[in-house]
Amino acid sequence: MSQILIAEDEERIASFIAKGLRAAGHAPLVVGTGREAYDHALSGDVDLLVLDLGLPDQDGFTVLRRLREARSTLPVIILTARSSVTDTVAGLEGGADDYMAKPFRFEELLARIRLRLRTEAPAGDGSVLAHGDLRLDLRTRRAHVGDRAVDLSAREFALAEAFWRNPGQVLSREQLLSRVWGYDFDPGSNVVDVYVRYLRKKLGPDVIETVRGMGYRLAER
Ligand code: CA
């Protein structure tokens, strides 16, 4: 479990990221100012910083510059609404490890976080999620049903991962939308149902159960 510091003053986005990270087995810590971000980042208790550029007291670039001046090697992923190339370059030159433009999908952020954490500390046994004879390999991004390997699209994999990480738990369409598609997705969309059908077709019809009026659940194996 990694402790991930989120410096983001927009509450909706902060809680969206925190929720997703918690579901992915990490320990998120949210702060809303650059000053707090800097203090926590230097405390030695966090493994990675997700840093918004537009913070109320000092901007993310300043926080980042001060951290690097203080010889902190903490992995930093910059998060920002500013999507211009100039900002990207400035952020990376300023010592950021990666960059995400808002709006973003949670799975993309999670993939980048994993990559940075892995660079810091090689992944151990947590790279395969198993449920009966169903396995998800987080490194190769493949599913295995018994001896059969199944290729999944990025979105299918993210959806499968949401189920695998919450076995036996009913996940609502809203939860899945937010977790896999992002906070800015139309809540009336039927995209979850469509992708559940894709997963059933690839992994087997009984893998994901429909719980009427509530959502979906990974079936007992
Ligand atoms: Ca902001």
Query: Over the stretch 56-91, which tens digit does the pLDDT of each residue have?
Result: 999 898 999 999 888 888 999 998 876 655 666 676
Q: What is the CATH number of the domain that holds 193?
A: 1.10.10.10
162 Cα: distance to centroid of ligand 1 (angstroms) = 27
pLDDT at 202 over 60: yes
Q: Which ranges constitute the DSSP H helices of 81-180?
A: 85-93, 106-120, 154-164, 173-176
* Same domain for 153 and 54: no
User: Do the domain assignments include residue 122?
Assistant: no
* Same domain for 85 and 143: no
pLDDT at 22 over 80: yes
* Same domain for 160 and 108: no
pLDDT of residue 94: 76
79 Cα: distance to centroid of ligand 1 (angstroms) = 9
**Total domains present in the chain:** 2
* Same domain for 34 and 99: yes
User: Do the domain assignments include residue 34?
Assistant: yes
pLDDT at 42 over 80: yes
52 Cα: distance to centroid of ligand 1 (angstroms) = 6
Which two three-digit tokens encode residue 172?
Answer: 């609502």
* 14 or 81, greater pLDDT: 14
Rounded Cα distance between 6 and 76, Å, is 10
Its domain, for residue 153, covers: 128-218
What is the signed CA dihedral for 155, 158, 161, 162, rounded to 10 degrees?
-110
User: Do the domain assignments include residue 123?
Assistant: no
* Same domain for 104 and 36: yes
* Same domain for 8 and 113: yes
Q: Which of 16-30, 35-49, 75-89, 131-145 has the lowest mean pLDDT?
A: 75-89
* Same domain for 206 and 134: yes
Give me the chain's average pLDDT, please: 86
Rounded Cα distance between 68 and 14, Å, is 24
116 Cα: distance to centroid of ligand 1 (angstroms) = 22
92 Cα: distance to centroid of ligand 1 (angstroms) = 19
* Same domain for 132 and 84: no
pLDDT of residue 119: 59
Domain end among 96, 117, 138: 117
pLDDT of residue 10: 94
123 pLDDT tier (thresholds 50, 70, 90):
very low
* Same domain for 88 and 162: no
Assess whether the previous peptide bond of 103 is cis (omega < 30° from 0).
Answer: yes
Domain end among 66, 94, 117: 117
8 Cα: distance to centroid of ligand 1 (angstroms) = 6
Rounded Cα distance between 73 and 56, Å, is 24
* Same domain for 93 and 148: no
pLDDT of residue 89: 67
Q: What is the CATH number of the domain that holds 98?
A: 3.40.50.2300
User: Do the domain assignments include residue 39?
Assistant: yes
81 Cα: distance to centroid of ligand 1 (angstroms) = 8
What proportion of the chain, given as a percentage, has pLDDT over 70?
90
162-182 pLDDT, tens digit each: 898 888 889 998 888 888 887
* Same domain for 77 and 45: yes
User: Do the domain assignments include residue 40?
Assistant: yes
Domain end among 117, 141, 168: 117
* Same domain for 155 and 66: no
35 Cα: distance to centroid of ligand 1 (angstroms) = 14
195 Cα: distance to centroid of ligand 1 (angstroms) = 32
pLDDT of residue 35: 96
